[in-house]
Amino acid sequence: MRGWFQTQEVAPRVYAISEPGHFEEVISYLIEGEERAILFDTGMGIANIREEVMALTGRAITIVNSHSHWDHVGDNYRFPLIAIHYAEAHLLREGASSEELRREMRAEMFVQPPPVGFEPSQYKISPSRASLLLDEGSPLDLGKRALTVLHTPGHSPGSISLLEEKEGLLFSGDTAYAGPLYAQLPGSDFDLYGESMERLARLVPQLSLVLPGHNVTPLDPAILVEMAKGFGQIASGEATYEFESSPWGRVRHYRFERFSVYLSE
């Protein structure tokens, strides 16, 4: 571990760059090819992820954002080449103010001290601009390493996952991870989320690892089947839930063995 980031090689030439010091436990991924590299998300921007990445690779880097939420685009502004699904490209230009993110920077959200010089009250997301718009099936050629964009909406309209078919790697972003899945946020769509989960579950026979955007990585692909089943149980009314208060109003919280789902009342 070096400072704020915790970095580990989770597959050949794939580095998970985690931020375990904050409640969000965001994970970004550096994916190296022979000619180029992708950084799948830029984290929260609490520390300089560009410096972390440049210590790992000398290859030209393209940012690919899984979606536009603040905790995945924090250091976008440090990079010239940014790709995102077309449905959320306009949101990058808005950034987010200190006032909007005040709740996320409360002292209790940190499980370790932030980097020296970081001032939570001044934290904001600087605007950035997409230089490449992605869609379902967009190819990403890194030189002897190829990934394909899967449009997996539900958490947000432009959520994407990346599939490296040859190695059986699925970079699932915020669509699937071991923890609370948010289907109640502005722009979320539970029905689309369920469809995305079913689609990812069908990929399980060809997957070796799932590399998610939060918490623990890697995950065994079988969790995708559990998630698809859970979403189906919620949709059919079979799943039980508890009401909870949240910044988005009262929500239903559905708990399963390795994950949970928040859904608007």
The pLDDT value recorded for residue 1 is: 40
Class of domain 6-184+192-228: alpha beta
Per-residue pLDDT reduced to its tens digit, 123-140 = 999 999 999 999 999 999
Per-residue pLDDT reduced to its tens digit, 58-112 = 999 999 999 999 999 999 999 999 999 999 999 999 999 999 999 999 999 999 9
Task: Specify the 3-state DSSP secondary structure of 9.
Answer: strand
Give me the residue spans of the domains in the chain. Answer: 6-184+192-228
The pLDDT value recorded for residue 144 is: 96
Per-residue pLDDT reduced to its tens digit, 44-73 = 999 999 999 999 999 999 999 999 999 999
Calculate the average pLDDT of the chain.
Answer: 97
| Across 184-212, average pLDDT | 98
Q: What is the dihedral of CA 170, 213, 77, 162, to 10 degrees?
A: 10
Number of helices (H), then strands (E), belonging to the chain: the values are 4, 16
* Cβ atoms < 10 Å from Cβ of 138: 19
> Measuring CA to CA, which residue among 215, 50, 23 is closest to residue 108?
23
| Across 14-27, average pLDDT | 98
> Measuring CA to CA, which residue among 220, 179, 194, 186 is closest to residue 26?
179
Q: How far does CA 186 lie from the centroid of its chain?
A: 16
| b/e per residue 43-74 (b: at least 16 CB within 10 A) | bbbbbbbbebbeebbebebbbbbbbbbbbbbb
The pLDDT value recorded for residue 235 is: 98
The pLDDT value recorded for residue 2 is: 56
Per-residue pLDDT reduced to its tens digit, 153-195 = 999 999 999 999 999 999 999 999 999 999 999 999 999 999 9
